[in-house]
Amino acid sequence: MHDGHKPMFEHLCVIGLGLIGASFVQAVYHANQRLGSPLVGKITAVDTNPKSIKDAIAAGLIQDGGDTVSAVAAGADLVVIATPVQSVESIMQTLKDAMNAGVLPYDAIISDVGSTKVSVQQAADRIFGLGHHFIGGHPIAGAENSGFDARNGELFVQHKLILCPTPDSPADAVAKLAKLWQAVGAEVIQMDASRHDEILAYTSHLPHLLAFSLTHQLASHDDNLDIFRYAAGGFRDFSRIAASHPVMWHDIFIANKSALLQSLDEFQAHLSEFRQIIANEDSQTMLDWLGTARHARRHFGHMLAKKPMYKPYSSTISKDKDAIKDTIMNQSYHIRPQNTIAGTISVPGDKSISHRSIMFGSLADGITQVSGFLQGEDALSTLQAFVDMGVKIERQGDKVTIHGVGVDGLSAPAEPLDMGNSGTSMRLLAGILSAQPFDSVMTGDVSLSKRPMERVAKPLRQMGAKIQSTGEKGTAPLSITGGQALNAIEYPLPVASAQIKSCLILAAMWAKGTTTIIEPEVSRDHTERMLKAFGYPISVDGNKISITGGGRLTATDIIVPADISSAAFFMVLAAIGGGEGLTIEKVGMNPTRTGVIDILRLMGADIRLSNEAVVGGEPIADITVRPSDLHGIEIPESLVPLAIDEFPVLFIAASCATGTTKLTGAKELRVKESDRIQVMADGLATLGVDSTVLEDGIIIQGKGVAGEKNAIFGGGVIESHHDHRIAMSFAVASSRATDDIIIHGTQTVNTSFPGFAELANQVGLAIEVK
Ligand code: S3P
């Protein structure tokens, strides 16, 4: 964070020792002691109440204090103003005077903790002028008690702290201030001051106004004592925040007047509508409104459930702790061009099948043994979710033993289920959780939190589930209310998606009646195959899948074949590289997954299959790929769902081909772990390959020369956008590059392909992991 001797801030001066100011001082003091090497060298405070200063000095929280800024704040490199919003401007003026008098450095960072940000920012602009170091802050934490004695050093722990820097704020100052708040336990987020004020008007200022208003209304009744005497929990809960500090709230209501009035107007219109519903005794609408509100409030309760960002895994899988820790760090690949590719390799287990083995094994009666399990973070997220729901799962490397609890045996998780980067876990589990008797919440990382979840929530609601995507745009966190009876539906899938299909198949196991799902095009069918293997009847008639609820699953052993999606990186590498080429052993050859082989063959690749066999209901084969000349093609749209995860690396193949390759009908690529059309086009452009982005695909201008393994790509820096397949695809490109390729954000490779870099180096690439 900072070197061992020099504190991050030499002198912190807090102005105002009310609840927030005093809690901050106390929290910084404790963090300073806890961290050994101090965050802050010296803490001082200014307050007009001499008793607060005296008590703070006596408690050892501050070294010095008084009632004038110039005396106390001299030499401070951080000043935090913690007084009611209306007084902030005059305090800023005093600080500016102190700067002019040479008492306070001009580059001192000035911040505040007020609940409105636009007016404070404007005051700072007026007083300090251009290039000032004012960075507004607002801890979303508080209590109805006020004053120094109400202080609480834990007040900010696991609470949000909003910083509102301007585009001119120095980045290092923002970073230092953020670190200080993080050190006192806050989760720091940044937003624009006006956005802050709009949001806070609805979530904080309006509710406070209503609490003050109703309490004032009742207090104004002549018989108010009787009212208060008989008021019970409802009044107590609703009015709690009306006991907050009047001056503070007066200042906030005025400072955020326009956003607050807008939210109040909306509230009044809504209330009038509600009045009319009651006057009309319109029971249906009323129940509808009350039900929606109750549901939303319960979801909000789930969202407030606290969870650490990376919870430690339970002892049965404690070896994964290190893998998880690694993901927190930002990793990159630095790759030197190398193009002699040769070897015989195995790639890790199939991701889709690994997920499903844990799900069905957990829900089965009896013990399921899985071998070849993918030890990647996505599959481990699914595994951890079932451990969290009370299933005993033991893992030794790629061997997993699952002690099934039966379709009615899951128990409520104590915390939100963390799905990490894994869309498959979240979407498939949505189907299972919708049918459980308990409430649940699923969260995910940045990439997963941007991916569409309404595509599963909508049909699940049609089945009677109570599920809400609580993110901004129909995205995670997903919040599910348990105890709903599900009914069978007939559902034509709007997109060919195995995840939506599988989610509905899973929910249908608990639904009353027979659910029918109609696919627009065939997508991977591992769920259907594995259900049959676990003895649950399912009928597949062309594109129509039917399943009747109420059955049970019987444990069985699963052998997971190697993942063709992981093999694809090495197939393309062998085709575009020099050397002898590669053999990849025992790869899953499920016909709903082999589109990549068909597409590469259409482009002229030399691919041979050998040792074909069927293992655990899934076909497998060894794949041998020799270097060859590739040529551009129009990719048949019927192959798109069968190669959906392989397009990033196929774009690398297309870049090395002669002529143009055109992909259409692949809009789904835009909602994968990243927007794979745009992100690939950007990366290709960085490396000197031209492409035209289409809404549902891409046209790539191949740079290959027939009969040569010419250099196609220049060097450059690629952003993976939290997408494992983007990272691996550009690593493959290095075999035909002129210069080094650096790929940022490669830690996500662990989600599907742990050991990728080592294996790639073994066959001839030169990846250095940093
Ligand atoms: C998967 C289905 C595909 C695929 C994903 C895994 C699965 O997603 O992209 O990596 O295991 O069912 P869609 O079904 O959304 O296309």
Q: What is the mean pLDDT of the chain?
A: 92
Ligand 1 neighbour 499 (Cβ under 6 A): yes
pTM tops 0.85, yes or no: no
Measure 699 CA to ligand 1 centroid, in angstroms: 24
> How many angstroms separate the CA atoms of 599 and 700, rounded?
15
DSSP class of residue 591 equals T
Q: Which of 168-172, 255-259, 651-655 has the highest mean predicted lDDT (pLDDT)?
A: 651-655
Backbone angles phi and psi of 698, in degrees to 5: -160, 150
**CA nearest to 371, candidates 357, 360, 385:** 357
Ligand 1 neighbour 352 (Cβ under 6 A): yes
pLDDT score recorded for residue 616: 76
Query: Is the pLDDT assigned to residue 519 strictly greater than 90?
Result: yes
Question: Which residue's CA is the nearest one to ligand 1's atom 10?
Answer: 645
Contact predicate 360/534, CB 8 Å:
yes
> How many angstroms separate the CA atoms of 154 and 161, rounded?
14
pLDDT score recorded for residue 330: 72
Contact predicate 386/400, CB 8 Å:
no
Catalytic residue among 563, 645, 675, 723: 645
Query: Is the pLDDT assigned to residue 483 strictly greater than 80?
Result: yes
pLDDT score recorded for residue 299: 67
> How many angstroms separate the CA atoms of 371 and 400, rounded?
6
Dihedral of CA atoms 677, 682, 686, 687 in degrees, nearest 10, equals: 0
Ligand 1 neighbour 497 (Cβ under 6 A): yes
Q: What percent of the chain has pLDDT over 70?
A: 94
Q: Which atom of ligand 1 is nearest to the CA of 672?
A: 9
Name the amino acid, one letter, at 63.
Answer: Q
**Bridge partner list, 570:** none
Query: Is the pLDDT assigned to residue 317 strictly greater than 60?
Result: no
Worst-scoring range by mean pLDDT, 202-216, 225-239, 386-400, 714-728?
225-239
> How many angstroms separate the CA atoms of 357 and 363, rounded?
10
Ligand 1 neighbour 524 (Cβ under 6 A): yes
**CA nearest to 587, candidates 569, 563, 610:** 563
Q: Which atom of ligand 1 is nearest to the CA of 428?
A: 12
Residue 503: in which H helix or E strand, if any? Answer: helix 498-508
- What digits encode the pLDDT tens for the residues 269-279? 999 999 999 99
When pLDDT is averaged across residues 173-195 and rounded to a whole number, the result is 94
Residue 109 tokens read as: 């960072």
- Residues sharing a CB contact under 8 Å with residue 76, sequence separation 6 or more, in sequence order: 10, 11, 12, 13, 44, 104, 105, 108
Ligand 1 neighbour 424 (Cβ under 6 A): yes
Query: Is the pLDDT assigned to residue 320 strictly greater than 90?
Result: no
Worst-scoring range by mean pLDDT, 81-90, 404-413, 464-473, 676-685?
464-473
When pLDDT is averaged across residues 559-563 and rounded to a whole number, the result is 97
Ligand 1 neighbour 498 (Cβ under 6 A): yes
Q: Which atom of ligand 1 is nearest to the CA of 641?
A: 16
226 classed as catalytic: no
pLDDT score recorded for residue 729: 98
Ligand 1 neighbour 748 (Cβ under 6 A): no
Measure 499 CA to ligand 1 centroid, in angstroms: 5
Peptide bond into 636 cis (omega under 30): no
Q: Which atom of ligand 1 is nearest to the CA of 644?
A: 9
Q: Which atom of ligand 1 is nearest to the CA of 645?
A: 9
Helical segments of 74-117, H only: 88-100
Measure 752 CA to ligand 1 centroid, in angstroms: 13
**CA nearest to 686, candidates 722, 643, 645, 729:** 729
When pLDDT is averaged across residues 558-581 and rounded to a whole number, the result is 97
Of the residues 503, 505, 590, 645, which should be mutated to test ligand 1's pocket, given the most ligand atoms within 8 Å of the CB?
Answer: 645
Ligand 1 neighbour 425 (Cβ under 6 A): no
Name the pairing type of β-strands 78-81 and 365-371.
unpaired
Ligand 1 neighbour 645 (Cβ under 6 A): yes
Q: How confident is the model at residue 34 (pLDDT cuts 50, 70, 90)?
A: confident
Quick one: how many helices (H) and strands (E) in the chain? 26, 31
> How many angstroms separate the CA atoms of 85 and 67, rounded?
18
Measure 498 CA to ligand 1 centroid, in angstroms: 5
Residue with tokens 């049959």: 532
Ligand 1 neighbour 502 (Cβ under 6 A): yes
Q: How confident is the model at residue 304 (pLDDT cuts 50, 70, 90)?
A: low
- For 616-690, strand residue ranges (E) read 618-626, 660-663
Cα separation values, 397 from 34, 371, 394, Å: 38, 9, 10
Of the residues 358, 499, 500, 752, which should be mutated to test ligand 1's pocket, given the most ligand atoms within 8 Å of the CB?
Answer: 499
Helix (H, G, I), strand (E, B) or coil at 157: coil
Query: Is the pLDDT assigned to residue 708 strictly greater than 80?
Result: yes
Measure 671 CA to ligand 1 centroid, in angstroms: 11
Q: Which atom of ligand 1 is nearest to the CA of 499?
A: 14
Query: Residue 264 CB: number of other CB atoms within 10 A?
Result: 17
pLDDT score recorded for residue 245: 86
Give the torsion sign (CA, 247, 252, 258, 259).
Answer: negative
Residue with tokens 């702290």: 161
Question: Which residue's CA is the nearest one to ligand 1's atom 5?
Answer: 424
